[in-house]
Amino acid sequence: MTSNGSQGRQLLIATHNDGKLREFVTLLRDVPFSLTSLLEQGVSEEVEETGTTFQDNAIIKAQAYSQLTGLLTLADDSGLEVDALGGDPGVYSARYGSEGLNDEGRVDLLLHNMRGVPWNLRSARFRCVIAIAAPNIEPVTVEGTVEGIIQYEPAGDGGFGYDPVFLLPQKGLTTAQLPMDEKNSLSHRGQAAQKAAALFRDWPAS
């Protein structure tokens, strides 16, 4: 995927989500590893997310894919927490409603479930937990969050998932309306990836 002058040290980005993969490749472009993907490693298995927290699921995925490939592995679990919905969709963000819904369908369902919620009660946050695992090494986790408001209608063509309805008040824009570099500097995934990148810069050679 990219060499980064890593002299053969590989880091597996363990996601089948193309949007996440593109973001991580950009966010981790300066780490001293060669980034590789599940597709490149020929891994089609979907690890079941049985945890009840983002941290649980991130660790489950990182450990499972590390064991499958023997590689140092980064996995994340992330999602949207809406206060008016009691924190939903939370860990079920990617499966909100049903497995058959696409991103647009999940956004529509979210807005349907928030009908009648006034602006001052539409607070929400994106949360991301990254887990880093390797065979025979205890996993390490880092976290990032960003606060926002769920607006009434989608806006913007960038990003993915719930980005079109997640408004950043300080910007007056949804995360789908931000240029990618700006989104990465502010986002929950960007914050967590910066912390992970700092760990990788000091990662042991073996």
* Residues in Cβ contact with 17 at an 8 Å cutoff, skipping those fewer than 6 apart: 94, 160
* Residues in Cβ contact with 102 at an 8 Å cutoff, skipping those fewer than 6 apart: none
Find the catalytic residue in 30, 77, 103, 181. Answer: 77
Burial class (CB in 10 A: 0-12, 13-18, 19+), 82: buried
Does residue 77 have an active-site annotation?
yes
Per the CB < 8 A criterion, the answer to whether 68 and 54 are in contact is: no
Sheet holding 72-82, edge to edge: 34-37, 10-13, 72-82, 123-134, 137-150, 166-168, 173-174
Point out the residues that are catalytic.
Answer: 77
